[in-house]
Amino acid sequence: MIETAIHPGLLVIAAGLALPFLRGGPRAAVALAAPLAAAALVLFVPEGSHWQAEYLGLPIAPYAVDRLSRLFALVFAVMAFGGALFALNNASRLEMPAAFVYAGSAIGATFAGDLLTLFAFWELMAIGSTLVVWSAGTPAAWAASRRYLAVHLFGGVLLLAGIAGHVGATGSTLFVRFALDSTAHWLILAAFLVNAGAPPLSAWVADTYPEASWSGTVFLSAFTTKTAVYVLLRGFPGTELLVWVGLWMVFYGIVFALLENDMRRILAYSIVNQVGFMVAGVGLGTEMALNGAAAHAFTHILYKALLLMSAGAVLHATGRRKCSELGGLFRTMPLTTVCGTIGALAISSFPLTSGFVSKSMISQAAADLHLAAVWLALAAASAGVFLHAGIKFPWFVFFQTDSGLRPPDPPLNMRLAMLVFAALCVGLGVVYRPLYDLLPYPADYAPYTGAHVVAQLQLLLFSGLAFFVMLPMLRRTPTITLDTDWFYRRAAPAFWRAVESAARARAASLADFLRRPAARAYGWVVRHHGADGSLARTRTTGDMALWVAVLLAAYLLVSYL
């Protein structure tokens, strides 16, 4: 079959490489058609390993398809289409090609049946995403892209070391489930968690994503962290450590999002929070939990893109991103307000939205395992999500006190992209069975039971009440929040400057200490070997003959002794 010969990820990458040479209508046609063609290939390609080869004597499987890889590859292709539609009027000639390389690499990573192919696409993702940030063209974006690349190259080194150790120990390159029984497997897990945004390195998400352009952040939100969720699902399902790592991410994201004033940094911290739910689901390890983590990754890509599209539309129209500078935009940006609100409801798991039919599976898995503490933590976290993303973002950006700004809704392509993703967020919340049919395990789960719906509405109602009761305390001021990136953005350079200063001072002291004896030694050399030194004086032939005779006599005397 022809579709088995075409790799969807490579198709998207090829389209990205062609985009710099296209203009106008042809550029738009390729940008929209390539992801749709990739999505069609993903849907219709049969399961199994379609490409096999060898590299350095090791077998590789660059195109291996199963239910889990199909689910992630499909949503990545849909995201590439939505991001391209939203970014069509972005003037940058670099952003969309880089984003397509980024998206195609993510699709390639999901179809990687071996660790070598995974590593190749993993590093290509890092390059593509760095260029997406860089394409914003601001000093802040350039600085953030360098920090971003440093973190992800560090993660790549961990992954490569882990792969080398695994291949050396087992002789196999196949990407299979790993046990935490060796240093190599710990290194692989650490590399995956770096890309997932797990603390203490999670600050790269909020440090980098908001510095991209108004459309670049939409692309960035989808691929890196969700590819990390995919590889955790495939490589480390049921690893108990991931439950606690996930809960740490959940509450870390909530706390920092509640403190944040920048609307896109709020949503960036929300990415860490939501990925925490998925990581916890991977750690729980049951079929229900793994289905929930996979489904939540799928729906999260859609509603997070919608939220960042609405934030990008506001930034595009106003040039402002601080909540303290926004408000009252619902008057002139009604469609953006509605779409942003739908995204906020979806991320809060409001009934009849996509978030409700996915996140509740993870909580149900914790209940089925009788893990009361985990279930309570996830319930509390759901309330926190509604506080920072479900209410805080739309309230301070679109409502609250009137900022006096009167921008219109964004251009047509941006409105269409938001409408498509808003329809998906609502559609999957109402007709969820097609999503469940794509999950890696049979999904015998009914989200719309009376107990689920009432419990979730109660949770959202009381967290909403808490928000408005505490509204005076939650009003934002022109401040910034300090995160763990402070240690390598501020503390580490300051420490290095202090070390350098101390080293310079010590070098100067040592130079002073050595200067006097060095001067004496230099004077002695000049006196003896300089132009006027004793060894540089002119000697007569008679003197030289005399000294030769003396040396020969001494040699003769020594030879007879």
CA angle 233, 239, 241 (to 5 degrees): 120
**Per-residue pLDDT averaged across 207-221, rounded?**
93
Q: Are 28 and 116 in contact (CB under 8 A)?
A: no
Residue type, 262: D
pLDDT tens across 151-183, in order?
999 999 999 999 999 999 998 899 989 999 899
pLDDT at 192: 96
Residue 307 has pLDDT above 80, yes or no: yes
Q: Dump pLDDT digits (tens) for 258-288.
A: 888 889 999 999 999 999 999 999 999 999 9
Q: How far apart are CA 349 and CA 382, in angstroms?
A: 8
Q: What is the mean pLDDT of the chain?
A: 88
Residue 57's SS3 state is coil
pLDDT band, residue 50 (cuts 50/70/90): confident
**Per residue in 461-480, pLDDT tens?**
888 887 777 767 666 566 66
Is 86:414 a contact under the CB 8 Å cutoff? yes
Question: Per-residue confidence at 83, pLDDT binned at 50, 70, 90?
Answer: very high
pTM of the predicted protein model: 0.86
| 529 pLDDT higher than 90 | no
CB 253 within 8 A of CB 225: no
CA proximity to 94, closest of 207, 204, 215 = 215
Provide the token pair at 375.
């279930």
Instruction: With a cut of 60, say whether residue 2 has pLDDT above it.
Output: no
